Structure 1
Amino acid sequence: MATFNIVHITKYQYNRPINESINEIRLFPHNFENQEVLEFQLSITKNPQITITTDYHGNRVGNFNIMEPHSEMIVESKMLVRTTHSQKIPEIDHVKVADLVAKLENDVYLLRLSYPEKIKKQEEIIKILKEIDSSDKSIIAIAQQCNEYIFTNFTYTKGITNIETTLDEILEHRKGVCQDFALVLLQLLRTAGIPSRYVSGYICPNESGLRGEGATHAWVEIYSPIQGWLGIDPTNNIWTMDNHVKLSVGLNFIECTPIKGTFKGLAKQTLSVSVSIGYEDGRHFEEVNNVQLQDVSAEAKEKLDYIEQQQQ
């Protein structure tokens, strides 16, 4: 059992005031199995009204608009979360892919989570599954071997990829971070016929030396009809533990994005994300990341450059 005090701050800054921003957030941790939310607080620039709904996966989703002109938007979530180590033991689960067939036929949700994405390099995914010989093995064994393959054959490197990087690109250079590795693992598992979903959350440092600690993290859950959802982390080649705090689940990264939105106006924007984690014993860890955003269109860039020239 472990208790973590997590502060997640997302800061958008604009070089010129924008007229309006429209946003969607998935920053509401709810009580998953083996995870209890003790406290939660959310604050947003201009204190807008937030409409909260529940999506297809059971995540709480907030929508809000800031109608006033602004040059900065800060979204800060504070949570106190207690995790308890899962009583599930993946190694004793001997379910095979063939055992899932009847379950998938009667569950549209699980069926959708067992479809791989359409990519150009699907033959490479099939080649990997043949290499690890995934036939006639338990779903646990397949998941573990796919997890280990990614951990061994892909290089953990920051700054190589961004939120727009495709699966084909990740498979091409075999480098990336947690979200990239989670997407590759999803493709492998779904191709093998195992219902799997993307998980967004945090991995809290505990002097364990795990990769991705102290920042937003991503991993995968597979479904077993015997034990339900089981978390597995390809970035660290482990099954999830007490220091994995789950925020949201979905088909892929897009369905779990903590914050996404758009704005009216011509301005260049920058984005920084900081995650601070505090422990019961007083220790504290913080990491700040500057996020690479999608490039603006050539037309918008030309207009922005013209405005900057006029202001000089």
Structure 2
Amino acid sequence: MAVFKIVHITKYQYNWPIKESINEIRLFPHNFENQDVLQYELLITHNPEVEISKDYYGNRVGNFNNLEAHSEMTIESRMLVRVNHSLKIPEIDPTTIQDLAEEKEKNIALLRLCYPETIQKQNKIDAILNKISCTDKSVIEIAQQCNQYIFENFTYTKGITNIETTVDEILGIKKGVCQDFAHVLLQLLRTAGIPSRYVSGYICPNESGLRGEGATHAWVEIYTPTQGWLGLDPTNNIWTMDNHIKLSVGRNFYDCTPVKGTFKGLARQTLSVCVSIGYEDGRHFEEINDVQLEEVSVEEQVQLDYIEQLHHQQQQ
């Protein structure tokens, strides 16, 4: 059992004032059997009213508007979470993919989580599964071998992918970060017929020196009728432990995006994310990342360049 104090700060900055910012957030840690949320606080620039609801996957979702003109917006999520899930290896489970067929017929939600994406390089996914040889293996064994394959054949490299990077691109370069590896693992597992979902959360640092620790993290959960949802972390080739904190689940990253929104105005925006993790014994870790956002359209780029040129001339 472990207790973590996590502060997650998302900061948007704009080079020109914008207004009517409309946002959707999934920054509320899950309350479930192995994870208790002891305290939670949400602080947002201009203190807007946040409407809370639940989405299809059971995630708590917050929606709010920032109608006033502003050049900066900060969303600060503070939580105190107790995790008592220390399982490193699932129990022996003979469930096969064939055994899952009846379960999927009874549960449409599970069936939806078995459909892989339509990608151009599906033949590479099929080749990996053929190499692993899924015949007569349990769901647990197939999932573990897929997890291990990604860990051994893909290189953890920051800065070469972003939220728009596709599974096809990741299969081509065989490099990326936790989010990329989770998407590849999902493609493998769903192609094999295993219900799988994307998980967004945090991985708290420990003595093992896990990759991606101290920041937002992503992994995958598979379903078995006997044990429910079990977490696999392809970035580190492990089953999830008591230092994995779960925020939200869904089909992919887009279902679990911590913050997304839009605004009125024409401005360049930058995004930085700071995650601070504190332990009961006083240890403290902090990581700050600048997030690469989706590129603006050519038309928007021309307008932005024109505005900046006009402003520069006025300053002379």
TM-score by length of 1: 0.99
Residue of structure 1 in register with 2:25 after alignment: 25
Matched-pair contact (CA < 8 Å) for 2:88–2:240: no
Give me the identity figure in percent.
74
Matched-pair contact (CA < 8 Å) for 1:91–1:140: no
Residue of structure 2 in register with 1:302 after alignment: 302
Per-residue CA deviation, residues 109-130 of structure 1 (Å, 9 max, x unaligned), is: 0000011111011111000000
- Structure 2 counterpart SS, 1:61: strand
Residue of structure 1 in register with 2:164 after alignment: 164
Q: Distance in 2 between matches of 1:163 and 1:179?
A: 8
Matched-pair contact (CA < 8 Å) for 2:21–2:263: yes
Deviation at 1:91, TM superposition (A): 4.3
Per-residue CA deviation, residues 227-277 of structure 1 (Å, 9 max, x unaligned), is: 000001000000000000000000100000000001110000000000000
Residue of structure 1 in register with 2:196 after alignment: 196
Say how many residue pairs are matched.
312
Residue of structure 1 in register with 2:267 after alignment: 267
Q: What amino acid does structure 1 have at the position aligned with 2:84?
A: T
TM-score by length of 2: 0.97
Matched-pair contact (CA < 8 Å) for 1:5–1:81: yes
Q: What amino acid does structure 1 have at the position aligned with 2:115?
A: Y
Matched-pair contact (CA < 8 Å) for 2:183–2:198: yes
Deviation at 1:87, TM superposition (A): 5.5
Q: Distance in 2 between matches of 1:77 and 1:214?
A: 15
Q: Distance in 2 between matches of 1:298 and 1:21?
A: 22
Matched-pair contact (CA < 8 Å) for 1:48–1:65: yes
Q: Distance in 1 between matches of 2:249 and 2:178?
A: 15
Q: Distance in 1 between matches of 2:161 and 2:221?
A: 23
Residue of structure 2 in register with 1:63 after alignment: 63
Deviation at 1:59, TM superposition (A): 0.3
Unaligned runs of 5+ in 2: none
Q: Distance in 2 between matches of 1:142 and 1:306?
A: 55
- Structure 2 counterpart SS, 1:104: helix
Matched-pair contact (CA < 8 Å) for 1:14–1:270: yes
Residue of structure 2 in register with 1:2 after alignment: 2
Deviation at 1:29, TM superposition (A): 1.1
Q: Distance in 2 between matches of 1:197 and 1:240?
A: 14
- Pair 1:74 & 2:48 matched: no
Q: Distance in 2 between matches of 1:209 and 1:121?
A: 33
Residue of structure 1 in register with 2:177 after alignment: 177
Matched-pair contact (CA < 8 Å) for 2:88–2:239: no
- Matching of residues 221-232 of structure 1 within 5 Å: 221-232=221-232
Residue of structure 2 in register with 1:115 after alignment: 115
Q: CA 1:237–1:178 in structure 2 vs 1: closer, same or farther (change >3 Å)?
A: same
- Structure 1 counterpart SS, 2:26: strand
Residue of structure 1 in register with 2:153 after alignment: 153
- Structure 2 counterpart SS, 1:145: helix
Q: Distance in 1 between matches of 2:32 and 2:73?
A: 29
Deviation at 1:160, TM superposition (A): 0.8
Q: Distance in 2 between matches of 1:207 and 1:165?
A: 31
Matched-pair contact (CA < 8 Å) for 2:89–2:239: no
Unaligned runs of 5+ in 1: none
Deviation at 1:33, TM superposition (A): 2.2
Q: What amino acid does structure 1 have at the position aligned with 2:114?
A: S
